[in-house]
Amino acid sequence: MDEEKSSIRAFLFSVNRHKIVGGDIVLADRRKVTSIKQYNRFAWLNIGTILFGAIFIYMIITLFSYLTSKHTASYEVTVGSISGNYRYTALALKTETIIPAGYSGYVTYYARDGARIGADRTVCSIDEQLPASAAAEMAAGTGEELSAIDRSQLRDELFAYSLNYSGSAFQEVYNLKANLQSILLNSSSSYSAATGGLVNLVNAPVSGFVVYTIDGMESLTEENISPDSFSKNQYRPVNVRLSGNAVRNGDDLFKLITGETWYLYFPISSDLKIKLQDRTSVRFRFLKDNTTFSAAFSVIENAYGSYGRITLKNSLVRYADDRYLEIELLMDSKKGLKIPSSAITERVFYRIPEEYVITNPDNSGEITFLRESYRTNGEAVVNYVTASVYAKVDGGCLVDTSLLNEGDYIQMANTSKKHKVTLSNLYTIQGVYNINQGYAQFRQVTVIDSNEEFCVVEPFSSYGLAAHDYIALNASEIQADEII
């Protein structure tokens, strides 16, 4: 208890020694102990905070502008040429004759598909009874041995199949099977075993190539070719050798290609027609086997359109089975500035005769002319106008249509001679939008070669493009002088 009283007494003594004067705690003997200052509420506001805030606001505005603005795809102009783009699906027409069955029964084929056979040579036989299969006899070991020639043919057939094997062309397996069967049945030993005393032999009436694929287009002529002739959607070829060995009188047995001359047809556009109309021959490549040919060429027209015709007098044996062949024309490519076709557009300008303009000696692409226009009250206004030249054609300079109106006059300097602006002064040219400077500048181009995707234009044009310029990829998406 005494200790507590002593502590309280010491505390009261300490309080009596201090007093507060103007916010300062002062000892009883008037000595200043410390100073209490008010806290600054805006201590965070400094130059660093201001700069960071400004940068942050700028980034937000830039991001918003990017997300809401229209984006224009660009393309860098390169020097090049168009090659390997003249590819077509060609329709092959040959002199074809379908041979029908003269009997009903079971057919056995001896000639290989695509083989050339002489007149009166046996192609197949028809028997009322199902004949014994020589191939089956050989497989069972009861038939006679194959000759050296037959074994060589079998090896060649298997080697050709393995060389051209494709996992997506399973139909070739059936063709291989049929070809091997034909070799076996056509061998000297198996022939007698397979035919025995049959009399219903079917011979080729004329010499030609034997083909077992029948597609209903054997009678198609040049006059009847139409765009539908090139559609593969409804193309349904039938291999009669694989469809079964039972036939009825009148069924299709096989067909003969009796002429060495055959034709390839492919549709051509108006632009390609102009390029090819004076040609009498053309070089092309079969994409099937990359074989290149030079052959006679002509452009034909019928009621359905224009078509290119290639006349071939050899190599029929390679493509006897094919109705459609992928080809590539090997054209003489022209070199220049290569740009996408989508970048080309057209624009209308007013043409001013060159004698009415003053050319800037420091800039050949800039001119000045004296324009006389009229206000609505009929008052004439004469002033000098400076304009950019977009091209020079027919002795005149092409300027933007916004600088002139129909009915205005252009006065020749230091004379009273005038040129009236009419709709006949309008001139349309092709061009692209150059975006090197950040906005769309129209530049004239002259196309010297083209296909569906790209164009080659003349280089070194005073009002055109240069290599490594950047242009708008799709001209239909932007306007002239638009900021990109």
Compare 312 and 4 and report the one with higher pLDDT: 312
For residue 185 the two structure tokens come to 């049945």
Nearby residues of 436 by Cβ (< 8 Å), 6 or more positions away = 469, 470
67-87 confidence digits (pLDDT tens): 777 677 889 999 888 765 688
Instruction: Spell out the domain ranges in the chain.
Output: 89-131+198-329, 338-477
Q: What percent of the chain has pLDDT over 70?
A: 79
Q: Would you list the DSSP string of 429-484?
A: EEEEEE-TTSB-EEEE--EEEE-SSEEEE-SS-TTS--TT-EEES-GGG--TT-B-
Q: Is the dihedral of CA 183, 185, 186, 192 positive or negative?
A: positive
Averaged pLDDT for residues 89-100 = 94
In 187-248, where does DSSP find H-type helix? 188-195
Longest dimension (CA), the chain: 153
174-232 confidence digits (pLDDT tens): 667 766 766 666 654 444 444 454 458 888 999 999 999 999 999 999 999 999 999 88
- Considering the chain, what is the average pLDDT of its residues? 81
308-345 confidence digits (pLDDT tens): 999 999 889 889 889 999 999 887 777 899 999 999 99
Compare 409 and 158 and report the one with higher pLDDT: 409
pLDDT of residue 192: 47
Nearest-Å Rg of the Cα atoms of the chain is 45
Distance CA 139, CA 400 (A): 86
96-122 confidence digits (pLDDT tens): 999 999 988 888 888 888 888 888 888
- In angstroms, the Cα distances linking 438 to 65, 379, 433, 434 are 16, 40, 11, 9
Separation of CA 465 from chain center:
23
* 314 within 8 A of 271, measured Cβ to Cβ: no
Compare 104 and 2 and report the one with higher pLDDT: 104
pLDDT of residue 20: 46
**pTM attached to this predicted model:** 0.54
Separation of CA 270 from chain center:
18
6-25 confidence digits (pLDDT tens): 665 555 555 555 554 444 44
pLDDT of residue 85: 66
- Indicate whether 349 pLDDT > 90: yes
User: Which segment of 136-140, 248-252, 310-314 scores lowest on mean pLDDT?
Assistant: 136-140
In 69-187, where does DSSP find H-type helix? 134-140, 148-163, 171-186
- Indicate whether 286 pLDDT > 80: yes
Determine the residue type at 346.
E
* 344 within 8 A of 431, measured Cβ to Cβ: yes
Averaged pLDDT for residues 376-385 = 86
Residue 255 pLDDT class (50, 70, 90 cuts)? very high
Domain 89-131+198-329, classified CATH 2.60.40.10, yes or no: no
- Indicate whether 245 pLDDT > 80: no
Averaged pLDDT for residues 421-432 = 91
- Indicate whether 256 pLDDT > 90: yes
**Other Cβ atoms within 10 Å of 439 Cβ, number:** 14
Averaged pLDDT for residues 123-137 = 66
